[in-house]
Amino acid sequence: MLILLPPSEAKTQGGDGAPVDLATLSWPDLARSRQRVASVLATVCRRSPKKARELLGLSAALDADRAANAELENSPTMPAGRRYRGILHDALDYPTLPPAARRRADASVVVFSGLWGAVRPTDQLPAYRIGIATKLPRIGPLPAYWREPLAAALDDAVASIGALDFRSAGYSQMYRPSADARHRLVSVTIAGADARRAPSSYQSKVAKGRLVRELLRRGAPSTARLLASANAVGLNATEQDGEIVVEVPAGWGLINPPRK
């Protein structure tokens, strides 16, 4: 099964790879759509720093992120699995996965992005920052912009092998499976101890990251392995009507355990 993840606002800076080559990224049919977003984003960020910060919701203290966007087409790159940071991706900690687990990640993990559409951990990316709620000139809302290209890119794979969906709300709107694929997309919902009240955003993101890490360590992704992974990391998961509900105990995830 595929594992569908959101990206992160935080990125590791720097890199030692050549500037991004859209033709080499996963799903090369998305290259034209990627080029359009990248060109508009870089142009806005170069021409008007103040307008760009307003558009992206950045404070003046985060102008380095705006500047990174301005140079994204010429900046050094690194693999997406190292580029993405933040709570979920830090808990997943792709760079420290055992070799077999990392190979599974490379084959199954799909990270959604308002800039790139969808990428795999091995795709070489520059530093950048753009939220899914951003409305770029001549492009408009990013979820609507990406919906058709991503359906064409991903639907056959989801219909064929299935997917575990860990995406947050905005990114889930970028790709909606067709009728043929819908029954193979399994949503993973993080809930509080009573299975209704939501845990903190921090706990929810940690839970997703640790679940995916444990899942990849155990073998090829599947719903059965996800349920077992939840138990292994101290969570309670049940499958309900094509959805997996993961209950997070009070206080869980607030202290990081050693990596395995």
Half-sphere exposure of 227 (CA within 13 A, CB side): 9
Examine residue 239 and state whether it is found in any structural domain, yes or no. Answer: yes
Question: Hey, is 246 helix, strand or coil?
Answer: strand
Total tally of structural domains belonging to the chain: 1
Confirm whether 7 is domain-assigned: yes
The confidence score (pLDDT) of residue 254 equals 76
Tens of pLDDT, residues 43-54? 999 999 999 999
Is 258 domain-assigned? no
What is the model's pLDDT at position 195?
Answer: 61
**Which percentage of the chain shows pLDDT scores above 70?**
96
What is the per-residue pLDDT for 155? 97
pLDDT of residue 64: 94
Is residue 255 included in any domain, yes or no?
Answer: no
What gap in Å lies between CA 196 and CA 157, rounded to an integer?
32
% of the chain beyond a pLDDT of 90: 89
Q: What radius of gyration do the chain's Cα atoms show?
A: 18
Which residues are bridge partners to 185 per DSSP? 163
Q: What is the pTM (predicted TM-score) of this model?
A: 0.94
Would the pLDDT of 238 be above 50?
Answer: yes
Query: Would residue 254 count as lying in a domain?
Result: no
Residue 221 falls inside a structural domain: yes
List 188's β-bridge partners, or say none: 244
User: In terms of pLDDT, which residue wins out, 259 or 212?
Assistant: 212
Which of 177-181, 197-201, 221-225, 239-243 is predicted least confidently? 197-201
Question: Is 133 contained in some domain?
Answer: yes
pLDDT for the residue 258 = 44
Q: What pLDDT, in 10s, does the model give residues 124-133? A: 999 999 999 9
Q: Kindly report the average pLDDT of the chain as a whole number.
A: 94
Question: Is 24 inside a domain boundary?
Answer: yes
Name the nearest CA neighbour of 135 among 55, 36, 77, 48: 55
Q: How far apart are CA 68 and CA 47, in angstroms?
A: 13
Q: Quote the CA–CA distance of 131 and 134 in Å, as a whole number.
A: 6
Q: Nearest Cα to 95, choosing from 78, 112, 76? A: 78
What is the residue range of 109's domain?
Answer: 2-247
Q: What average pLDDT does this structure show over 65-78?
A: 96
Q: Is the dihedral of CA 138, 141, 143, 144 positive or negative?
A: negative
